[in-house]
Copies of this chain bind each other. A is one copy, B any other.
Amino acid sequence: MSPRVRLRDVAAAAATSPKTVSRVINGDPRVSEATRDRVRRAVLDLGYQPDPLARSLRRGTDDTIGVVVDSVADPFFASVAGQIERIALPKGITVMIASTNRDQEHEREVLERMAQRRVAGLIVAPISGDHAHLAGLSCPVVFVDRRATGMEADSVVVDDHGGAHAAVRHLVDHGHRRIAFVGHEPELDTLRRRLAGYRAALHEAGITEEFLVASSPDRDEIVHATADLLASRRPPTAIFSPSTRSSMRVLPVLHRLGRLDVGFVAFGDLPLADSLTPGVTVIDHAPEVVGRLAAARLMDRIAGRPLPTEVITAPLRLIPRGSGEVPA
């Protein structure tokens, strides 16, 4: 529309210099009340709005934070991202979201691009195994869901070991002794921890028999492996699904086969989990909490508050809905 109002236009209208207008805009106290008022009026009259690009170029940093996750289409990360946005926006911080699609090369590219844009900070669900290359980024980084390795940075995670332990313990308490872990992804630190929690719970209960399906939830193999396992001569009486993605593949199998007698507990909540029959017992993954904690910590870092590097653990809770309470 109108050709864009600049600082100098406001300055002219307020009969002062651009720098003084800049001071008023940025809340510098060293401006007289009278001038300040004139400037404020001019700003309103002309509908002036600062140019974020020019400002960032000069300042060397942008009022933007980057969020890099596996995929925005993943409900867990979508919730995390939504929460971050909710916290950042009121502070005048813009959020840029990007997906890695679980591809290391892609992750690198996306991060580089954000760094190039001089983002003030990054929240990353890292997919690469070693994050040393991220140490070179000149802005604070907070990891979510998976913790930092190879560099000093805060991470906001959930208690993978404890959550898995609680889930399996819950099944044991309902009489199950043959419990499968379906959907292992050994390349993910998170999953390895959940596997350890599963094993610890078995061990504690004096169970030595382990059922492990290590097919990735992204491939159809998991479907067949699960069906085969249930059809085997000595099948498990319960399944622990260590990730939402795994649950989305395994639950349909159970329902298709009508195997609703099989105990089932999932790590990560699911939409419609309480409309299934039986309802799906889950360890709630608390994406909102993860998002909130990560955003808060990043703000602290951007503000330069001196804090020790930390692994922040979001609390988990078990939500019994039926599938985890079927007897063995």
Contact = CB atoms under 8 A, between A and B. Distances in A.
Nearest to A260: B277
Contacts of A96: 94-97
Contacts of A89: 98, 110
A73 to B, nearest CB: 4
Interface string A34-76: 0000000000000001111110110000100000000111110
A293 B118 CA distance: 31
Given A57-B57, A116-B52, A252 B274 contact: yes
Contacts of A79: 73
Contacts of A81: 72-73, 97
A104 interface: no
A53 B117 contact: yes
B113 A271 contact: no
Contacts of A95: 96-98
A256 B72 CA distance: 31
A251 interface: yes
Interface string A74-89: 1100110110011001
Nearest to A118: B53
A275 interface: yes
A62 B1 CA distance: 17
Interface in A247-284: 248, 251-252, 254-255, 270-277
B274 A75 contact: no
Nearest to A251: B275
A271 B274 contact: no
A58 to B, nearest CB: 10
27 contacts: A49-B116, A52-B113, A52-B117, A53-B56, A53-B118, A54-B57, A71-B82, A72-B72, A72-B81, A72-B85, A73-B75, A73-B78, A73-B82, A75-B78, A75-B271, A82-B99, A85-B98, A86-B99, A89-B110, A94-B96, A94-B113, A251-B275, A254-B275, A271-B272, A272-B272, A272-B273, A275-B276
Across the A-B interface, give the 5 residue pairs with the lowest CB-CB distance, nearest first: A73-B82, A78-B78, A255-B275, A97-B97, A1-B136
